[in-house]
Chain A
Amino acid sequence: AQSVTQLGSHVSVSEGALVLLRCNYSSSVPPYLFWYVQYPNQGLQLLLKYTSAATLVKGINGFEAEFKKSETSFHLTKPSAHMSDAAEYFCAVSNNNNDMRFGAGTRLTVKP
């Protein structure tokens, strides 16, 4: 079965600094990879997805992620953090059976 590991349960950055949230996946078949964001007391919102087209994927709110097969990674980045980016971020992997599995999540704090 496929799985993802998110490195770092908490990440803290200063406003304007680079955001880097790490995700490594395990899958026996070519994976579909996703990043979601969750704000308090809300459901998850899709940020971006990789579905075997371009390896560099651009999403909403200025986020992007790069699929690296050799490193089995799909790290999420944003060049300049904004206070509104503070939230919990989840990496997820799915296969062609629509069985999506989520990582444990990374809580991003943005300091003024």
Chain B
Amino acid sequence: KAGVTQTPRYLIKTRGQQVTLSCSPISGHRSVSWYQQTPGQGLQFLFEYFSETQRNKGNFPGRFSGRQFSNSRSEMNVSTLELGDSALYLCASSFEYRGGYTFGSGTRLTVV
């Protein structure tokens, strides 16, 4: 079956712009989580959605937001981009909490 699909794979944006990243989970997975990965901070949890509701949230400013649609696809949005937002953004889906996550290949965002 198809894995977790993240689009686009690479993105270059200018400071102050906004960006929307997309994630399509594995069919049947209702939980989608987002992580930011940087060399300095490692993997940091952004938020988790389950059945269109945000269930968990990490310590990121309000510029970072997300949503989940009825088909479990998820988007995350970053407004007013800063240079420090340059990172690999990873999406992961899961069927239930004991099974672990299946990750997508990520979206590499570069802010210039």
Query: Which residue numbers of A lie inside 8 Å of B, CB to CB?
Result: 32, 34, 36, 41-46, 49, 51, 90, 94-105
Q: Is the CB of A105 within 8 A of B42?
A: yes
Q: How many A-B residue pairs have CB under 8 A?
A: 60
The binding surface of chain A is classed by DSSP as: loop
Per-residue interface assignment for chain B, residues 37 to 56, with 1 indicating a CB less than 8 Å from any chain A CB and 0 otherwise: 00000110100101000011
Residue of A nearest to B42 (CB): A104
| A102-B104 Cα distance, complex, nearest whole Å | 16
Restricting to B66-110, which residues have a CB under 8 Å from any CB of A?
A: 90, 92, 94, 96-106, 108
Q: Is the CB of A43 within 8 A of B106?
A: yes
Number of interface residues of B (CB under 8 A): 26
The binding surface of chain B is classed by DSSP as: strand
| A104-B37 Cα distance, complex, nearest whole Å | 10
- Cβ-based interface call for B24 (8 A): no
Query: Which residue numbers of B lie inside 8 Å of A, CB to CB?
Result: 4, 31, 33, 35, 42-43, 45, 48, 50, 55-56, 90, 92, 94, 96-106, 108
Residues of A within 8 A of B99 (CB): 49
Residue of B nearest to A95 (CB): B97
B38: min CB distance to chain A, Å:
11
